[in-house]
Amino acid sequence: MWLVRPARPDDLQSILEIAGAQGARLSSTLPKQEEALARKIEHSQASFAGANDPELPPRFLFVLEDTRTGTLHGTAGIDSRAGNGQPFYNYRRDALIHASHELGISRRVEVLYPSHGLTDRTLLCSFTTRPERVGTEAFELLSRARMLFIAEHRSWFGSRMVVEIQGVQHENGRVPFWDSLGRHFFNMDFQAADQYSSLLSKTFIAELMPPNPIYVTLLSPEAQAALGQPHRLTVPNLELLQREGFQAGNYLDIFDAGPVLEARTDTLRTLVTSHRKTLHGSHDDSGETCLIAGGEGSGFRCTLARATDTLEGDVRVPVETWHLLEKSAGDTVRMAPL
Amino acid sequence: MLVIRPLQQGDLDDLYAMALNAGKGLTTLPADRDLLQRKIDLAQDTFNQRCEPEAGLYLFALEDTEVGRTVGISGIQARVGLDEVFYNYRLSLTVNASRELGVHVRTPTLQLSNDMTDTSEICSLLLASDYKGGGNGLLLSRCRFMYLDEFRKHFSDKVFAEMRGVSDAQGRSPLWDALGSKFFDMEFGEADRLSGLGNKSFIAELMPKYPIYLSMLPESARAVIGQVHENTRPALRMLQAEGFNFNGLVDIFDGGPVVEAFVHNIRTVRESVTRYVLVTQKPVPLEVPPAERVMVSNRSFQDFRVTTLPTPCVGTETVRMSPAVAEVLGVESGDSVRVAPLKEGGRWPGPAGRDGEQEHETRPGRVRRHRSHSSWG
């Protein structure tokens, strides 16, 4: 059985193993250093317990567990406020029309503006799975369990959400956008910058990033082609998020120019289609596979189960699912179709 | 005899022929008869004070009096950026540093600026190729400093010149190819021509307004910023000898440097003196090397004339000249003229005999020493 639950300190080594297998940057918000990761888990635990320090906005880290073996297969996170109390950096891709009436010339000039416009939106982040889980039901469970958590704790999150999707990177580690822009100012390779960005405060970005807008036409052709394009390994995740209702807008990652997806929280598919139900037992394995979540804060659990629901607001699921959710008959759960 | 005088109506054909021969790269004097005629008209209005002093365009012709042909032209634009907008890039520096990471990166940056607005520009220098050498270029260029000095209130305290930037034999500019062409949708020559026609609004409309980080441009383009075209090196050296220096601004199209100087610091201005004309029948050998010649101006606003004489003609109070020279300058014995060395490093007693100038007392030692040697102070 697959279970999504809050990360615990004893998950540390398993998470490091999953994160380490991803190479550079599948998720820069998931640190690959033990100490930083331990701090992140600790902060996540406090957040699940309801801590809300204005200096340190809540950040949640979930894990996907195979309950039969007890092994972890992935992680997923939510930052309640993008930037976590500091500026959240993006480029906003915009256009100016340079037109000369006299010469009959009109030309669209694309410009990348440094932006903090997405700061404080709710951010989905740290999404990583073992390669063999990509595109499976468990993959979907891990990603969408977060939406059910948000639905259950709606007041903890903002009205608009964002997700950063990794951008184009070649097999040899080269990132065309970085090589054409960031490298000149940060004087380091992409991997180093990316690590710093997950480890250090973001001050170094403010210090090193060029403050003025960038004309797209002055980037290398390869970098121009990479603007807003996802890394091919992120496509299953991207498609899942698109089905959820996320759309690419005008924002790009400052390091690799990957797309930033945006959505209104209350229109996300899982939030719209999920309902609260009263839990009842069933003896057979009939019904549709659904996402079922129960529990508040630190007690949050989410799993997949065959369920039959009734018009009276009841849902019947196998008893073993109750145990996973740590719930019993008569308790309230939230369910959404897969 | 070669003499500088205001550009006048009969000069159109000679001017047009010179502009044709000059080819591309001389943006202020395109081979366009209508445009040249308008420039002549404006120059005439300027010398006759029929236009606002700030709008003035002082164009001087170099005439070979023996053949009655105009063989060179040079000019001063009283003020730039008055009715059009005058653009340059300022070459500045952006430093990005992070103490935490031990990173310190310097990025040269081009910032669009209008900093030369309201400043006088020396411009439009062109000399017929068969008259190059023998100090003619020096006369054509430096006569302007005598004029600036004489009529300072008509000009700004600081003057500047835009130097032609690097382009290859086909007229391709590396900076234009890497930067301008991405925004202007036209060839360098075409943009340059439009700009020369005084049609500058298109620059504001099409030009990138945000600073350009040079690290994003190819090496070929970065290398030419602030550099002059090979053919312009002698002109640059001449201006540097006069005290002009690169002021950090470059041309927005080809990256050529802007050089500037304060009028009171220009060498010709510092070293010029006034003398009285002494017309003499005694023959004077006129054919002497540039280093042994002086420029003599008649100090006239409306009919400014300058020619050269051998340095020994300059006495302690007078300048000796033949009736022919006096006629060309439009002066008689007893008239006041201004004299300055044609070439730097030439034999010259120093700036004595300047009328009513208290500032002598504060001049640097080298100049004061010259003064103490002279008998007239």
The pLDDT tens digits of the residues spanning A217-250 come to 999 999 999 999 999 989 999 999 999 999 999 9
Average pLDDT over residues B38-53: 94
CB atoms within 10 A of CB B191: 24
Q: For chain B, where are the alpha helices, taking DSSP H only?
A: 12-22, 33-47, 136-150, 174-175, 181-184, 188-196, 201-206, 219-222, 233-241, 267-271, 323-329, 365-373
Among A270-279, B306-315, B362-371, which stretch is predicted with the lowest mean pLDDT? B362-371
Of A102, A181, A207, the CB nearest to B201: A102
Architecture of domain A274-337: Beta Barrel (2.40)
Q: Which residue has the higher pLDDT, A172 or B90?
A: B90
Q: What mean pLDDT, rounded, does chain B reach?
A: 87
Which of B89, B206, B207, B214 to substitute to test the interface with A, most A CBs within 10 Å?
A: B206
Q: For chain A, where are the alpha helices, taking DSSP H only?
A: 12-20, 34-48, 137-152, 176-177, 183-186, 190-199, 203-208, 221-226, 235-244, 269-273, 319-325
Of B107, B211, B212, the CB nearest to A185: B107
What per-residue confidence (pLDDT) applies to A69? 95
Please tell me which residue of chain B has the smallest CA distance to A103.
B202
CB atoms within 10 A of CB A96: 15
Single-letter residue type at B111? Q
- The token pair that represents B95 in the structure block: 């430093």
CATH superfamily, with its number, for domain A2-92+114-270: Gcn5-related N-acetyltransferase (GNAT) (3.40.630.30)
What per-residue confidence (pLDDT) applies to A320? 84
3-state helix, strand and coil shares in percent for chain B, rounded to the nearest 5: 35, 25, 40
pLDDT at B372 over 60: no
Q: Are A58 and A47 in contact (CB under 8 A)?
A: yes
Average pLDDT over residues B104-127: 94
Active site residue A116: no
Distances, alpha carbon B301 to alpha carbons A197, A257, B71, in Å: 68, 63, 22
What per-residue confidence (pLDDT) applies to A100? 83
Average pLDDT over residues B84-110: 91
- The token pair that represents B80 in the structure block: 């730039």
What per-residue confidence (pLDDT) applies to B26? 59
pLDDT at B199 over 70: no
Asked if A304 reaches chain B (Cβ–Cβ under 8 Å), the answer is no
Q: Which residue has the higher pLDDT, B375 or A145?
A: A145
Of A180, A184, A213, the CB nearest to B210: A213
For B83, counting Cβ atoms within 10 Å of its Cβ (0-12 exposed, 13-18 middle, 19+ buried), the class is: exposed
Report the share of chain A in percent with pLDDT over 70.
Answer: 95
B367 — pLDDT class (breaks 50, 70, 90): very low
Q: Over the range A122-157, which residues count as b (16 or more CB within 10 Å of their CB) and which as e?
A: bbbbbbbbbeebeeeebbbbbbbbbbbbbbbbeebb
Tell me which residues of chain B have a C-beta less than 8 Å from any C-beta of chain A.
94, 96-98, 100-101, 103, 105, 107, 109, 179, 182-186, 194, 199, 201-202, 205-208, 210-213, 215-217
Question: Which residues 105-134 on chain A approach chain B with CB closer than 8 angstroms?
Answer: 105, 107, 109, 111
What per-residue confidence (pLDDT) applies to B364? 39
Nearest to B337 by CA among B252, B269, B274, B268: B274
Report the share of chain B in percent with pLDDT over 90.
Answer: 66
What per-residue confidence (pLDDT) applies to A120? 95
For B238, counting Cβ atoms within 10 Å of its Cβ (0-12 exposed, 13-18 middle, 19+ buried), the class is: middle
A110 — pLDDT class (breaks 50, 70, 90): very high
pLDDT at B258 over 60: yes
- Is the Cβ pair A184, B205 closer than 8 Å? no
pLDDT at B374 over 60: no
State the helix-helix crossing angle for A137-152 and A235-244, rounded to 10 degrees.
40
B347 — pLDDT class (breaks 50, 70, 90): low
Q: What is the pLDDT of residues B9-19, one digit of tens each?
A: 999 999 999 98
The sign one gets for the Cα dihedral A208, A212, A217, A223 is: positive
What per-residue confidence (pLDDT) applies to B370? 37
Torsional class of A173: left (φ above 0), alpha (ψ -120 to 50), beta (otherwise): left
B354 — pLDDT class (breaks 50, 70, 90): very low
Question: How far does A304 lie from chain B, in Å, by closest CA?
Answer: 45
Q: Which residue has the higher pLDDT, A324 or B296?
A: B296
Question: Which residues 179-238 on chain A approach chain B with CB closer than 8 angstroms?
Answer: 180-181, 184-188, 196, 200, 203-204, 207-215, 217-219
The SS3 assignment for A108 reads strand
B350 — pLDDT class (breaks 50, 70, 90): low
Cα separation, B108 vs A132, in Å, equals 48
Average pLDDT over residues B112-119: 94
Name the catalytic one among B229, B264, B360, B370: B229
- Is the Cβ pair A208, B96 closer than 8 Å? yes
Does the interface ipTM go beyond 0.90?
Answer: no
Asked if A243 reaches chain B (Cβ–Cβ under 8 Å), the answer is no
What per-residue confidence (pLDDT) applies to A51? 87
Average pLDDT over residues B153-161: 96
Paired residues of A306 in beta bridges: A289
Domain B1-77+123-147, CATH? 3.40.630.30
- The token pair that represents B207 in the structure block: 């030009």
Whose tokens are 């500088």? That residue is: B4
pTM above 0.95, yes or no: no
Of B103, B201, B212, the CB nearest to A208: B103
Q: What is the pLDDT of residues A180-217, one digit of tens each?
A: 999 999 988 888 888 787 766 667 887 888 989 999 99
Half-sphere exposure of residue B97, counting CA atoms within 13 Å on the CB side?
Answer: 7
Question: How far does B194 lie from chain A, in Å, by closest CA?
Answer: 10
Among A218-222, B264-268, B352-356, which stretch is predicted with the lowest mean pLDDT? B352-356
Cα separation, A84 vs B357, in Å, equals 69
What per-residue confidence (pLDDT) applies to B195? 76
Q: What is the pLDDT of residues B187-197, one digit of tens each?
A: 887 787 777 77
pLDDT at B361 over 80: no
A116 — pLDDT class (breaks 50, 70, 90): very high
Which of B216, B217, B222 to substitute to test the interface with A, most A CBs within 10 Å?
A: B216
Q: Are B374 and B275 in contact (CB under 8 A)?
A: no
- The token pair that represents A14 in the structure block: 């398993």
Q: What is the pLDDT of residues A251-272, one digit of tens each?
A: 999 999 999 999 999 999 999 9
Q: What mean pLDDT, rounded, does chain A reach?
A: 90
Half-sphere exposure of residue A165, counting CA atoms within 13 Å on the CB side?
Answer: 28
What per-residue confidence (pLDDT) applies to A23? 55
Cα separation, B248 vs B254, in Å, equals 14
Among A137-141, B85-89, B217-221, B223-227, which stretch is predicted with the lowest mean pLDDT? B85-89
Domain segments of chain B as ranges: 1-77+123-147, 81-117+157-270, 272-341
Q: What is the pLDDT of residues B283-309, one digit of tens each?
A: 877 788 888 999 999 999 999 999 999
pLDDT at A92 over 60: yes
What per-residue confidence (pLDDT) applies to B373? 36
Nearest to B69 by CA among B133, B119, B5, B124: B5
Cα separation, A213 vs A230, in Å, equals 23
Judging contacts by C-beta atoms under 8 Å, the chain A residues touching residue B98 are: 203-204, 207-208
What per-residue confidence (pLDDT) applies to B352? 47
Question: How far does B196 lie from chain A, in Å, by closest CA?
Answer: 15
- Is the Cβ pair A184, B216 closer than 8 Å? yes
What per-residue confidence (pLDDT) applies to A228? 96
CB atoms within 10 A of CB B280: 15
Distances, alpha carbon A227 to alpha carbons A174, A222, B178, in Å: 15, 9, 21
Please tell me which residue of chain B has the smallest CA distance to A104.
B202
Q: Which residues does B242 contact at the CB level (< 8 Å), separation at least 6?
A: B142, B145, B261, B266, B267, B268, B344
Among A271-280, B195-204, B233-242, which stretch is predicted with the lowest mean pLDDT? B195-204
3-state helix, strand and coil shares in percent for chain A, rounded to the nearest 5: 35, 35, 35
Cα separation, B300 vs B330, in Å, equals 9
Cα separation, A208 vs A188, in Å, equals 11
DSSP string, A168-232: ---TTS--HHIIIIIHHHH-S-HHHHHHHHHHS-THHHHHHS--S-EEGGGS-HHHHHHTTPBPG
Three-point CA angle B31, B32, B38, nearest 5°: 125
Average pLDDT over residues A42-59: 91
Q: Maximum Cα–Cα distance for chain B, whole Å?
A: 83
The SS3 assignment for A292 reads strand
- Is the Cβ pair A180, B216 closer than 8 Å? yes
Q: CATH for B272-341, among 2.40.40.20, 3.40.605.10, 3.40.50.2300, 3.30.70.20?
A: 2.40.40.20
What per-residue confidence (pLDDT) applies to B365? 37
Question: How far does B114 lie from chain A, in Å, by closest CA?
Answer: 19
Half-sphere exposure of residue A21, counting CA atoms within 13 Å on the CB side?
Answer: 13
What per-residue confidence (pLDDT) applies to B285? 79
Judging contacts by C-beta atoms under 8 Å, the chain B residues touching residue A217 are: 182-183
Cα separation, A186 vs A254, in Å, equals 12
- Is the Cβ pair B206, A187 closer than 8 Å? no
For A225, counting Cβ atoms within 10 Å of its Cβ (0-12 exposed, 13-18 middle, 19+ buried), the class is: middle
Q: Beta strands B158-162 and B57-64: pairing type?
A: unpaired
Paired residues of B60 in beta bridges: B6, B74
